[in-house]
Structures are given as C-alpha cells and as structure tokens.
Amino acid sequence: MVILFTDFNRLLGRIVFLEFSDHSLSQIVKIVHASLITKMNIFLWVLFFALNIYGQIAMKQATNGVSAAGLAYFWDLAKNFWAVTAVMAWTGSSFLWMVLLKKQPLMEAQSISALNYAFIALAAVAFLGESVSGYKLAGIALIALGIYLVVR
C-alpha cells in the first residue's frame, strides 16, 4: 500500500508540474496512461505468481491426501478438492501468461517468471513447513539476482 501511495504521489507531482508548466492535456494523459499500464502489469504478474504458487501448494496437499495406487490414484486425484483447484489455478495462470507475453518480450517475461522457483520455495516453507538451508536461501538469492540482471 505504501508503494502504491508513493507512486500516486509521484504521479500527482508530475501532473501538477505539467499543469504549471503549460504542457498540454495530452501529455498529462500519456503520463497517467503509462502509470496505469505499469500498475496493471504489476497486478497481472502478482496474480500470475499467486495462481502458480497456489497450484503447487494445492497439488502437494492433494498428493499427500491420496494413498491409492495405479489408475485409482489418478481417479482419486480427479475427485480431490486440492487437485481440482490446483488445475484451475494453473489454467488461470496459463491465460495470464498469454496476456503477459503480449505485453512483454519473451526473454524478459520468461526471466521474470523464473521467480516462481523462489516464491514456491518460500511458500513451501511457510505453508508446508518444509525446511530451508543456507544453500537453498543462497540459491533463491542467485535466482533473483539473475532475473534482475536479465530484465535490467
């Protein structure tokens, strides 16, 4: 919330500056439009990551709750709430992925999506109680650094 408020204040400051600098209304509209597009992209990425994280955690919950073997295992998964909602989340994230690819170059989008590895690892610790070592944390940090270098 603080980030959005700060961004809004910066945007408002730019609009006020333009107003007193005798710039045209079209320039003000361009600044507002660019800011909204950025905020929309951020929202789409957050939703994309949230759906992917939920899908992974839910599928782990589903597989932990099914003990059948063979084809019965898959049938039990097909009836499992966690498995069904995981597939729904992944379907939603696939549609979001298509929207994000339309808005960004593939190399940039694919690099950003690699944050899934880090977010899912952190979610596994938070929601499933899995352990995290110093090496795993270093790996997560390296993933984030690599993405920063590619997208920069």
Q: In the chain, what are the domain boundaries?
A: 46-151
- For the chain, strand residue ranges (E) read none
Residue whose entry in the numeric block shows the structure tokens 């959005």: 4
Q: What is the pLDDT of residues 92-131, one digit of tens each?
A: 999 999 999 998 888 888 888 988 988 999 999 999 999 9
- The helix/strand/coil state of 129 is coil
Alpha-carbon span 58 to 18, nearest angstrom: 49
Pair of tokens at residue 39: 């905020």
Q: What percent of the chain has pLDDT over 90?
A: 38
Tokens of 4: 């959005």
Distance CA(107)–CA(64), nearest Å, equals 35
Residue pLDDT, tens place only, 6-38: 454 454 444 444 444 455 656 555 554 455 457
Q: How confident is the model at residue 86 (pLDDT cuts 50, 70, 90)?
A: very high
Question: How far apart (Å, rounded) are the C-alpha atoms in residues 36 and 31?
Answer: 9
What mean pLDDT comes out for the span 70-86? Answer: 91
Nearest C-alpha neighbor of 13 from the set 30, 28, 25? 28
